[in-house]
Amino acid sequence: MYTQGLDQKGQANVSEIESPEQLAAFQARIDAEEKIEAKDWMPAAYRRTLIRQISQHAHSEIIGMQPEGNWLTRAPSLQRKAILLAKVQDEAGHGLYLYSAAETLGVSRDEMVQGLLDGKAKYSSIFNYPTLNWADIGAIGWLVDGAAIMNQIPLCRCSYGPYARAMIRVCKEESFHQRQGFDIMHKLCNGTDDQKAMAQDALNRWWWPSLMMFGPGDADSKHSAQSMAWKIKRFSNDELRQKFVDVTVPQAEFLGLRVPDDALVLDEESGHYRFGEIDWQEFHDVLAGNGPCNAQRMERRRSAHDDNAWVRDAARAYADKQSAKAVA
Amino acid sequence: MSKDRAEWPLYEVFIRSKSGLSHRHAGSVHAADDQMALDNARDTYTRRMEGVSLWVVRSDRIIASDPTETSAFFEPAEDKIYRHPTFYDVPEGVENL
């Protein structure tokens, strides 16, 4: 998911000339629900917005492997290990689908990865929280992937074809992720008192960061209007957050867990849950690099890149040697 | 330093989901060589039995029509509506036509 609209400053100067006619014709295609494809004409700002959003999304999938990877060797049974391994592999796959979608816009994967390694590109705030016990893996699948699905389903109808197609593939797989998370929570909640307490503890820590995944409130989300007009976004941050709360609270009740929000109440008239104020200071702190695990996540990502450089070099050398042989 | 080296080439991936159907574009992968492109495509795009056959082809080897020339390129077919069976009136009472 992870399209929080994080680094929106610095709209570069528009160098090429975009005539009002071109812009109007483009908007007309969007309004007619036509998909924009890679080689089609598009405004520079549309291209920039997509590159930023899709690459952030890809980075989030890749960094998102870390909190769960932490439990691969410690999952409580061989089957749980196998399932978690499959999920973490899916996250890598999602990152690759998304990098490949972004590449159609004329940016190379190496450039995007370098942006992440240099700390210039952002990724979702949620992955800067630690996974302290096994229940956290349940909470991530249930809440974090649940929030991701809420955000990603509308992206399957995004106006940019390659992004929309990648999202269809991602959404099919996320559904497994969410259910495996709920399954972990369900087992814990039907276990011993200690196990149920673990599940409650994980919900307590992951609930609010999950709500923050939808990004700033609509009043503070400056670029949303343009993204909506371009049909990159279909629903506002607050609308999606509300949907997530509405479907998730009854699931928590089913599990017999308490959502950690004293202000949470069902508004009978509208059918929506009203919930308490999000701590936006925490959100901005985590985005600014001051979350519990920001430094650790980046350090791990950089060392993985550097430590495995020899593999890339060796593969390249082998390919060069084979093609030299073929020519000879 | 690998940072200074050129990026692995890009390959487009096509999957036949079951025999009887044609291969369909799925996305792309980077790979150092053809065999790695096939392996990466399998790991990236067919983790759930999505295919029984894979094609990979270097992206720079694909010849594509130019989107800015789309109308001129496809226009010759536009006014030949007599190529469609619906162009013809079938008289009342005639069947199996």
Q: What are phi and psi of A38, to 5 degrees?
A: -50, -45
Residue B15 lies in a domain: yes
CA distance A289 to B24: 42
Tell the burial category of A148 from Cβ atoms under 10 Å away from its Cβ (0-12, 13-18, 19+): buried
Residue B77 lies in a domain: yes
Contacts of A323 in chain B (CB under 8 A): 33
Residue A175: closest CA among A200, A209, A207, A145: A145
CA closest to A41 among chain B residues: B68
* Host domain of residue B32: 7-87
CA distance A148 to A175: 10
Residue B56 lies in a domain: yes
Residue B83 lies in a domain: yes
| Predicted structure pTM score | 0.90
A36 secondary structure, DSSP code: B
CB contact under 8 A, B27 and A165: yes
Using CA of residue A213, residue A216, residue A222, residue A226, what is the dihedral sign? positive
The total of structural domains in chain B comes to 1
Residue B97 lies in a domain: no
CB contact under 8 A, A100 and B7: no
CA distance A262 to chain B (A): 42
Question: In the A/B pair of chains, how many CB contacts fall below 8 A?
Answer: 58
- Ordered DSSP codes for B33-53: SHHHHHHHHHHHH-TTS--SE
pLDDT tens digits, one per residue of A61-109: 999 999 999 999 999 999 999 999 999 999 999 999 999 999 999 999 9
Residue B53 lies in a domain: yes
ipTM, 2 dp: 0.85
CA distance A142 to A136: 10
pLDDT tens digits, one per residue of B78-95: 888 999 999 999 999 999
Digit-by-digit pLDDT tens for chain B (97 residues) are 344 467 899 999 999 999 999 999 999 999 999 999 999 999 999 999 999 999 999 999 999 998 888 888 988 888 889 999 999 999 999 998 8
CB contact under 8 A, B1 and A315: no
Residue type, position A72, single letter: L
A43 secondary structure, DSSP code: -
CA distance A13 to B94: 67
Residue B18: give its domain's CATH number.
3.10.20.520
Residue B31 lies in a domain: yes
CA distance A312 to A318: 10
Whether B91 and chain A come into contact, CB under 8 Å, resolves to no
